[in-house]
Amino acid sequence: MSTNVVMADKQHQLRTAPFDARFPNQNQTRHCWQNYVDFHRCLKIKGEDYEPCQYFKRVYKSLCPNDWIEKWDEQIENGVFAGKI
């Protein structure tokens, strides 16, 4: 689903996460987590300039609460993140 929004003479396209058959339920916590981890794995393997990694970032930014993202980012910086990246 996407919606076009015009803000300050610029047009932005808003998108949400597409359906993923691995996560069919309403609770999207696991979907959020998996895309966050996949994004950081992709960055580690392919580097920041690899455009397909941005797909995972868009999805986790759409699904995950900002507090969780900030907490996980801090954990990665401190070397105590629970996921395997």
Instruction: Provide the 10 A C-beta neighbour count for residue 29.
Output: 13
pLDDT of residue 15 exceeding 90, the answer is no
Per-residue pLDDT tens digits for 48-77: 889 999 999 999 999 999 999 999 999 999
Residue 2 pLDDT class (50, 70, 90 cuts): very low
> Which pLDDT score, from 0 to 100, does residue 9 have?
61
Q: 15 vs 69, which has greater pLDDT?
A: 69
What is the rounded average pLDDT for all residues in the chain? 85
